[in-house]
Structure 1
Amino acid sequence: MSVDFTPFFAEGNDIRPHKVPADFQAILEKHIHAIQRRGIGFLPRSSHGRLWWYGFASTPRQRREVLELLDSWIGPTFSDLPHHRGALETTDPFDAALAAMPLEVLRFEVLPRTKPGSANSPTKSESANSRDEVRNALLTLGNLLHQRPASEFGADRTTIEVLDDLGHAIAAQDRSVALACLRELEAMADLDQTNLAFLRLRLYAGLQDWNAVLTDRDIDQLLTMQRPARITHFIQQAVYATWFAAHDTAGNEQQLLNAVTELPPQFHPLYSSTPLTSRAQAVVEFLIAVQAGAQETQNRILNEAGAIEPGLPDHLRTILHLQDPTATAQPPTPQPPTSTTESPLERATRLMAYGDTQSVLDLALTIEPGIEAAYLLLTCARDLHSVHRADLVASYIATHDLRPLIDKTAPRLHGHLNWLDEFTQSKPHGGWRTWFEDLSYQHAAPADPETTDQWTPLSPKALTELLRHAPDDVLGRFGEFGGQFMAAHRDVFVHDGAAHLSERVLAGLAMGEKNSAGVRVQTLALLDYFLAANPSPQLFASALDWTTLIIKANTSAVTVTWAIDVLQTITATPAAATNPAAVTFFYSVIDTARPFKSALNLTDLEAIRIVAEELAQTFPDDLAAGHTDDTDPAAPYRYLQGTRIVLYSLTESATTRAAQVLRKLVPGIDIETSAEHDGSSTLAAQAAHADLFVVVTASAKHAATDFITAKRGSRPTIYVNSRGSSAILRELAEG
């Protein structure tokens, strides 16, 4: 932060740094340096014989912390703090200018002040003594603040820890935390630019932000290089969503053919070189093959498409027939077409140029053995990274005794051949199940995104069995580095009826005792899934016990608002009103938050009051200490008076709580919450008529977000990229 303090020592302040003693000038420079580094600092102002000190902080939380500290270090003996609580005098031009600074500013006057001519005025020596006491106290306090060790919540982290948090953030659909993790990884410089580009695409795909995938700054480079199959799948999904999805969903084959002609050339050789796993992959690869006239690729896709969806092969054949009315309506056999002008080797070379390495390998296995066949087979095998196809290539090379030929004429293929030997002889990793089972051992390691991209997610049944029977030590290690696992299996937890799975993961996070942004956003997401599945009273109480432990490990002065978010989430359900565990949980959160009460903001306090009223409990008044009586909690939201607002999220706890707080702060506000699915007439009417529409993108399907955006037109829409009512209220406060 760069702030110019020259005006502070100008008009309205008799103190000039260049005229004060050298020791005092050094003190001023130290305070200014701390403020510039987003710390806490103090600067003096003298005018007409009176002396004030101004405290500067970078956040409202820091300002409240300063006030609390000043109560102890300066107090009523030497200041007007008990009466004015650091408030600026807005009628004073000097203070009015400070109020416009990008800082949180407070002030207090040093007492007693000298009143010349008054019989009861303190002596000059008494006034000078108080000024010296305050200066020395602030110097000591400033030194302590500057030298205190960094909180573990802000300590440097390893690449592994940040990657784990990135997985949690993607699983929780929290764009803000995910992007913060990505920036942290970029700053570490442990990963090269290519790996960072892969991570960005994984992040965008996890958030279903297909436009970000296609417009990534490195997309052109990624399209021309060898890349993991998973990255190709992400690009294919983005291409499908942007150019083909609408026509494919409508079953309009002619429009699909028209759309592929509009596809930019750099996306044409977009084959993943892996068996089909999704409709998007099948449609994209087939349309590109039709456009390129790659019959072998068309044959392969038609043969594999039936395993994706029963009607998909017929859909693709219709496209082929529209492109060439003479094409057969039946799937051709996957044999090389008879041709007098192109040899099998030439066809394989042409397919290699298209990037369809899977078809190249299948064709190369049928051509005459030689160095050309060896080159194609080894290159494709390494690209495909398939155990089955690697075995076929190894068998082909051994059967035709091609090793001596490779050694003699193609030494540059030795690397591929060595890789083939190692790959075919090593035991392939068993995927997510093996990784989870390895958590039983102390040497268990976090999952690497580059490796896990090759693994197939577990079925809901297999996942349930693993979590249900996992011992505590395994769950604890899972809580330490299960972020990538959660990102890969998010859909299982979102599914209705997964309350027991969410409770098991909460147990793992609690026993792992890890504090991180990833754990915090994952906790909120799991509680949303958990409550949506209507848990039993016993399961509800158990989840509260585990969440209590997570809160204790993750609450600090900078995260206490998150703890209040959790309190609001878990009590925004009818189950809380009748379950005694909710009251116990309420007081546990309050006790955990109490040491950080100066970091609570006014909307946090309003939220606590609402929860206390619902649970028939007394609001803990001591939490409000440090907040001035004249502070208006409704001020940031006053502009919403008289407007019609809709808060949209598929998980309603956050929108329900945010609406409650806004109704209390701004009486008469017209506010609705919505969890309608995209395309409903109710959602269409809400989107079309609301003055302001808030979409919690972290808990909204991409189609719903697009639907709302289309219906809104030019009307204002606020997109909230994190869960929790505080995120909604923060975005609304900022307008």
Structure 2
Amino acid sequence: MITTDLEAAQSIASQLRERSKDINFPIGSEALCDQLLETVDSANFPGALIPELRADGELVVVAIAEPAAWRRLCPVLLAFAGPTLTSFDGLPDTDLADADLAVVIAAAGPHMTATVRLPSDPRGQEMALRALVRARDTLARAPSLTRTAPEPTSWLLARFQDFLNVGRRDAATAILDQLRNELRLDALNLRFLQVQLHATFEEWREIFNLSGFRNLTLARRTPATTAILLEALYQNCLARFFAAGDTAVLQKVYVEEVRPLAVPLLKTPLPTSLRIGGWRIAGIETLISPGRTDLRYALADGHEQLGWLANHLTSSSSTESSFYQEAADEARERLVATEATESVDVMAAALAALTRLSDEQRAELAQAEPFRSALRGLEHEAGNTSVPTSWPTWLARTSDPTFTNALAFARLGAEEWLVAEDGADPASVTSFLDGLNYAQSNPLAAERTAQALPYLVAALRRDALFPNPGMTPIYSSILTLIAMGSARGSSTFDSSLILVDALLSVGVSATDYRELAADIDEIAGEGFGARMVYWALEMIEAFMRSPAPDLAARDRLIHSVLARLIPIRARLSSLQQAGLQNLSEEFGWRLGVPPARQESHNDELASRMRGKTIAIYSLVENASRQAKAALQAIASDIHVQCNADPVGSSQLRALATCSDLFVVAWAAAKHAATDYIRAHRNGRPIVYAEGKGVTSLLRAVEDYFSGQSRQH
């Protein structure tokens, strides 16, 4: 790459490709010259090789690199295309082929160059060009001397959860692709992550249509995945018949189409995360199979979810009759359950049952299948010790060096445990905070806790009362830990948006408000990278949408963030600049005419958006209007239409069927409307904005069209 600045390298490469269109390279050398030009923005190549045709018809290749990269490039060029084939002798010079080339590459900063002259005869030119291409390919395959160590899979999974927490679908998909391309996980676990991704955006049809869906119902899975699969079955096969209220038709469709897939999923105890569709499928199965008394007892916990189906179920006691069970029988039952369900609570119950066995009973159990295999698998996963059954017990174990699967348990715990069993009970909240504070006193525990923060945020959102005023101390403490992690270089900070919005929604005191602003300032850091710009703008919008107990603290934070954004304004995309301009004007910052931008990037973005019809759905209509104005300022022929209907309508249907891109404000939308949009998109692209403001809408649009650019 011609410079370590990726965006600058891409800008130079774009200009050089446009320039090469006007150069008539010798016949037969065009393809080779194009391959050499790819080195300009190739991250695996130290420097660049730029083919040039001089005014006298001489074909040369300009080798250019930063001083540090030149030391790596020079010996390779000598080895592949030295004096035997070309004029290159390893010495740099300053004789560029054209003056206009010097203007283009000036943006690369300090560099060293050498003009590699090729033979005059066509055959010699082709041999030299092929040698240079082989040098390019060799360097591309060579290991990077400055490459950072690969991130552990557990960190990638935590970042995947971080992106899902805020609805960043494209970013979560990129992590999923990385896990797949680097062979980090097996095919089954990758498919379960894909199921989790679709479920986050309630894309039940996509889950149901996944290849191998039947196999997923038979595989070992988490309780949360079981709940998702049941919901996908209900929404795709039964919801419309349930709405009609016809019991006979509903049972017929269930028996013929759904039951073979649903029965393997209907194991008790039912998942605590079961959705309305899962409860109703369990109710239908109970009607058809009166002998499933286990389901009948379990339905008592979800009676209000059954709708009219509840009237068709005979009344029964909400508690199962007590009976005595031999310890050995209970241990066998619990062990078999661990083979079917990947659950922390199931593992804990199995281990507890094993502790009640005598040595003789345990030895007997370990000799017979399938209990021997189940016992071996349980010991491998849990280490044959007690496993955490709540967040406080998980925090208590984080300081144990042998607790090497801490993040794996945190990922499962996010689906099964509430952060505080009773958010209205101060003792429950205090118990969690004590465990959190204790973990910070140990370096190992603090590191593990920091890595698990996205899972903690996901568990907080499972609270039916979220944002819960009684949980405010927990929100603040976890946000502070995210700020501390950001200061140490942590890459999982997107979930902070959720906590900030929750704290601002429930309201905080002036003192807590100042601490909140300080945490955000800490997360922002001293300088912004490209990834942080949209996050910073969205955070400012969140503070501006909410009451400010301390206006001075809010203004200090916003002015501090804006002051760090202004110096990099020239490097922002057009849409980022539009968002910055809107927010700056509200606080009296007059930025004037935007400075020179990366025109190639912005022009490419505008060209991909030109002539497109973009639909925006958000209940925050002011944000939609501002996003529309910003988009149309990029290219006047972009057609942007906004909608805020709470349910499906003729206008919403027209937008869903006709627009090239549909943007849904994930945090400011009605489920009925989003379901209606998905039902009428018919495979056309739909993207989700992570927040409620204009910044999130612009980010979703730019991410989509930038992703198209990378694919091409």
The TM-score by the shorter chain falls in which range?
0.5 to 0.7
**What pairs up with 1:266-305 in 2 under 5 angstroms?**
266-276=260-270, 277=272, 278=274, 279-288=276-285, 290-291=287-288, 294-297=289-292, 299-305=293-299
Please give the residue correspondences for 1:121-140 in structure 2 after superposition, counting only pairs within 5 Å.
Answer: none
Q: Is the 8 A contact 1:608 1:619 kept in 2?
A: no
Shift of 1:616: 0.7
Alignment check: 8 A CA contact 1:9 1:17 kept:
no
1:12 aligns with 2:23: yes
CA shift for structure 1 position 171: 1.6
Using the size of structure 1 for normalisation, the TM-score is 0.64
Deviation for aligned residue 1:431: 1.8
Q: Does 1:720 align with 2:693?
A: no
Query: Per-residue CA shift, 1:467-512, capped at 9, x if unaligned?
Result: 7665497496544431222223324498356694555433221111
* Offset of residue 86 of structure 1: 8.3
Match of 1:186 among 173, 180, 186: 180
1:659 and 2:628 are equivalent in the alignment: yes
1:720 is aligned with what amino acid? Y
Corresponding position of 1:456: 417
Q: Where does residue 435 of structure 1 map in the other structure?
A: 394
Secondary structure of the structure 1 residue equivalent to 2:628: helix
User: Residues of 1 paired with 2:361 and 2:609: CA distance?
Assistant: 79
Q: Deviations over 1:120-145 (max 9, x none)?
A: xxxxxxxxxxxxxxxxxxxxxxx9xx
Contact 2:537 2:580 in 1 (8 A): no
How big is the shift at 1:610?
1.9
Secondary structure of 1:719's aligned partner: strand
Shift of 1:613: 1.2
Once residues 313 and 628 of structure 1 are traced to their aligned partners in structure 2, the CA distance between those partners, rounded to angstroms, is 58
Whole-Å separation in 1 of the counterparts to 2:307 and 2:589? 63
Task: Identify the residue that residue 550 of structure 1 maps to in structure 2.
Answer: 523
2:484 to 485, 489, 511: 511
Of 203, 211, 220, the match for 1:217: 211
CA contact (8 A) 1:678 1:703 kept: yes
Larger relative CO (CA 8 A, sep 6+): 1 or 2?
1
Sort the Cα spacing of 1:224 and 1:656 in 2 relative to 1 into closer, same or farther, 3 A: same
Report the 3-state secondary structure (helix = DSSP H, G, I; strand = E; otherwise coil) of the residue aligned with 1:548: helix
1:600 maps to 572
What's the Cα RMSD here?
Answer: 5.9
Opposite residue 453 of structure 2, the aligned amino acid is G
The CA distance in 2 between the partners of 1:670 and 1:8, in whole Å, is: 32
2:166 aligned with 1:172? yes
Aligned partner (choices 599, 603, 614) of residue 586 of structure 2:
614
1:599 alignment partner AA: R
Aligned equivalents of 1:184, 1:387: Cα separation in 2 = 30
Shift of 1:161: 0.9
| Candidates 365, 379, 393, aligned match of 2:336 | 379
In structure 2, what residue type is equivalent to 1:566? E
1:506-546 CA-to-partner distances (Å, cap 9, x unmatched) read 32211112688963432344445455556666555433322
1:648 matched to 2:642: no
After superposition, the Cα gap between the structure-2 partners of 1:675 and 1:713, relative to the gap in structure 1 and judged at 3 Å, is: same
**Alignment identity in percent?**
18
Asked if structure 1 preserves the Cα contact closer than 8 Å seen for 2:218 and 2:264, the reply is no
Bigger Rg, which one? 1
Partners of 2:29 and 2:338 lie apart in 1 by 73
Matched-pair contact (CA < 8 Å) for 2:619–2:644:
yes
CA contact (8 A) 2:204 2:235 kept: yes
After superposition, the Cα gap between the structure-2 partners of 1:618 and 1:233, relative to the gap in structure 1 and judged at 3 Å, is same
Gaps of 5+ in 2: 2-12, 66-92, 114-138
Q: Which residue of 1 aligns with 2:76?
A: none
Deviation at 1:615, TM superposition (A): 0.3
Cα offset, 1:730, TM superposition: 1.6
CA deviation map 1:295-334 (0-9, x unaligned)? 321x22222212223584983461x6xxxxxxxx454999
In structure 1, what is the Cα distance between the partners aligned to 2:54 and 2:323? 90
Unaligned runs of 5+ in 1: 20-24, 58-72, 88-103, 111-142, 321-328, 337-361
What's the CA shift string for 1:401-423, capped at 9, x where partnerless?
97798689x46644556789999
Partner AA of 1:508 in structure 2: L
The separation in 2 between residues aligned to 1:306 and 1:418, in whole angstroms, is 35
Deviation at 1:612, TM superposition (A): 1.8
In 2, Cα distance between equivalents of 1:674 and 1:9 = 45
2:514–2:550 contact (8 Å) kept in structure 1:
no
- Aligned residue-pair number: 608
Q: Deviations over 1:646-700 (max 9, x none)?
A: 5223577864652352365578998675555446899789879999753234764
Quick one: distance in 2 between partners of 1:50 and 1:533? 73
Task: Give the letter aligned to residue 379 of structure 1.
Answer: V
Counterpart mapping for 1:91-490 below 5 A: 156-248=150-242, 252-264=246-258, 266-276=260-270, 277=272, 278=274, 279-288=276-285, 290-291=287-288, 294-297=289-292, 299-310=293-304, 312=306, 315-316=309-310, 318=312, 329-331=314-316, 379=336, 383=340, 386=346, 410=368, 413-416=371-374, 426-438=385-397, 445-448=406-409, 451-452=412-413, 455-458=416-419, 459-461=422-424, 465=430, 470-471=436-437, 474=440, 477=447, 478-490=449-461
- The DSSP-based 3-state class of the residue aligned with 1:216 is coil
